[in-house]
Copies of this chain bind each other. A is one copy, B any other.
């Protein structure tokens, strides 16, 4: 017989933990199903200074605080529990299947987050095994490249942040970016340029350039870089390649259950985070329109629970529009 919960949260990252805090504090029987272990992507960040009220905290430390807080209120967390399918039953309950178990709940909150985007070039998969040279996480793997030469790829916040981080370890860092302009925030780009312009800097830029191959015998020895304006290819000798080119939403398992956008993000109404399936909400980086920030993911989880309570009070609300007297904090 399937175990029955009030609320099953799929994904134990910031969105799922935010949701579970509110759900379990409200005495709803709450289960988090997490594919690996709690935290998700944020575990790979060693310095967070934009979570309001913390000047500076590491990802693992922040997650530890959140996990402690939610388990105090009774949230159950199952790790290594990968969800394979979901189904809405005739009685309105949501059935959630993992490889080994089946659960049901009155509502589900989908918060699977995103994973690293790949370059898709020859050599990338081959050298992904730990220690052979391709990495997607600067803060995780930088210490392995002490006094080595590394190539980094990307132009967003993570690319710039992690490239700067790597300069503290590597002998030399070459940042490859396909455009002249960076998408990273201004403060980060300024910090990057200041570092590049230091006398004797160990940081160099290769702009208007893309990586076309990663090569070596048994481990990374060089990267082939192509200038997109001239078409010219050059080899850069290096010991590692760090790929920082964004995220892909972890939404394969819900294909056909909820609607996905062209890029694979879950569609929902942005006011209430409802999918097309009554009782199924989304929260965090996996949804269309997510701001992709730590505190906005956490708040998505909280919002989903506030509206889940509205759904429990009145299931017919699912297809209704905004009414401001619905504001759940009203009297």
Q: Residues on A close to B: CB < 8 A? A: 14, 17-18, 21-22, 25-27, 49-55, 57, 62, 65-66, 68-69, 72, 117, 154-157, 159, 183, 185-187, 190, 244-247, 261-263, 265, 269-272, 285, 288-293, 295-296, 298-300, 302-303, 306-307, 322, 324-331
Copies of chain A in the complex: 2
Distance between A121 CB and nearest chain B CB, rounded to angstroms: 16
Q: Is the CB of A262 within 8 A of B324?
A: yes
Could you pull out 20 A-B pairs where Cβ atoms are within 8 angstroms? A14-B52, A21-B50, A27-B185, A53-B57, A117-B331, A155-B331, A156-B329, A156-B331, A157-B329, A244-B331, A265-B327, A271-B289, A285-B329, A288-B322, A289-B327, A291-B329, A292-B330, A293-B302, A295-B302, A296-B302
- By the criterion CB–CB under 8 Å, are B22 and A298 in contact? no
A291 near B327: Cβ-Cβ < 8 Å: yes
Closest to A296 in B: B299
Kindly list chain B residues whose C-beta atoms are within 8 Å of the C-beta of A291. 302-303, 306-307, 327-329
Q: Are B292 and A329 in contact (CB under 8 A)?
A: yes
**Complex CA–CA separation, A226 to B1 (angstroms):** 51
Q: Which residue on B lies nearest to A273, using beta carbons?
A: B270
Q: How far is the CB of A322 from chain B (nearest CB, A)?
A: 5
User: Which residues does chain B contribute within 8 Å of A157, judged by CB atoms?
Assistant: 329
Q: Shortest beta-carbon distance, A40 to chain B, in Å? A: 14
Q: Is the CB of A303 within 8 A of B298?
A: no
Q: Are A26 and B187 in contact (CB under 8 A)?
A: yes
In the complex formed, the residue of B with least CB distance to A51 is B53
Minimal Cβ-Cβ distance residue in B for A156: B331
CA A14 – CA B291 in complex, angstroms? 18
When C-beta atoms are compared, the residue in chain B nearest to A305 turns out to be: B291
**How far is it, in angstroms, between the C-alpha of A331 and the C-alpha of B292 when the chains are bound?**
11
List the B residue with the shortest CB-CB distance to A21.
Answer: B52
Residue in chain B with minimal CB distance to A154: B331
Bound Cα distance A263, B14 (Å):
33
